[in-house]
Amino acid sequence: MIRWFAFFVLLALPTWAEEVVLGLSQDEVAITTSFDGSEILIFGAVKREAPIPEGELGVIVTISGPPEPVTVRRKERRFGIWINADAVEIDGAPSYYAVATSAPMDEVLGIRDNLQHKVSIPSMLNSVGAPETVLDASTFVAALIRINTNAGTYQVLEDQVVVDQDTLFRTRIRLPAALTEGVYETRIFLTREGQVVSSYETAIDVRKVGLERWLFALSRENPFWYGIMSLAIAIIAGWGASAAFSLLRN
């Protein structure tokens, strides 16, 4: 009885047999003192063992930076001054997040699969620590999304994934200059009729190198000597500017 039940369940499931074969233009990003951002080319193909299924193929690409806790505060004017009022903690908000799609989001991905795989920006953010007095915690999440979107660290790139002949796909995603060091998780989803039929995960390693890496390590491992060096550089720079100004006056 159980075997027949499992058999009929399998018959009821979608019979899509598609798999992502992915490529990256680079899987490492080096942050130097002159780093002003980097553009990543993500391309791939759909591997099949059967004819192309009916229905439009959707492709979604996401890149997520290292998560970090964020506290969003709301300011209110009281007694003539602006003060911090309510606050909501957002646990594990990505320092960077981009989602690129081959069509509008609501056309390529259904609500259930979006929540399950945490694809869109609102679905992958978790608000915790909201006090009982805060009845509109969702507005704090919306504020964080708006701030990071304006800063370019959160990006929604609809219709930016090019799909050729239901088999090949490609997109370009621009990483901003202000990147947090760490591993950037990259996910690719194939969808049919709003359902995820295949997914693939890889990673892009973002690291400081050269002088930038040395200064970062010094500030963390030897903060005292880092402060002394910074003070010495400031004194030398001030003295040099003063000497140059004196020469120009003479």
Phi first, then psi, for residue 189 (nearest 5°) are -120, 135
- Which tens digit of pLDDT belongs to each residue from 50-93? 777 877 899 999 999 998 888 887 777 776 676 667 777 777 78
Encoded tokens for 78: 């009281």
Give the ranges where 109-200 is alpha helix by DSSP (H): 111-117, 121-124, 137-151
**Looking at residue 204, what is its pLDDT?**
86
Kindly state the average pLDDT of the residues 20-31.
71
Percent of the chain predicted with pLDDT > 70: 66
- The dotted CATH code for 16-66+92-206 is 2.60.40.3880
Which amino acid would we find at residue 101?
Answer: T
Phi first, then psi, for residue 43 (nearest 5°) are -140, 160
Confidence of residue 102 (pLDDT cuts 50, 70, 90): very high
Is the per-residue pLDDT at 177 higher than 90?
no
Is the per-residue pLDDT at 220 higher than 80?
no
Kindly state the average pLDDT of the residues 188-203.
91
Q: Where are the domains of the chain?
A: 16-66+92-206, 209-250
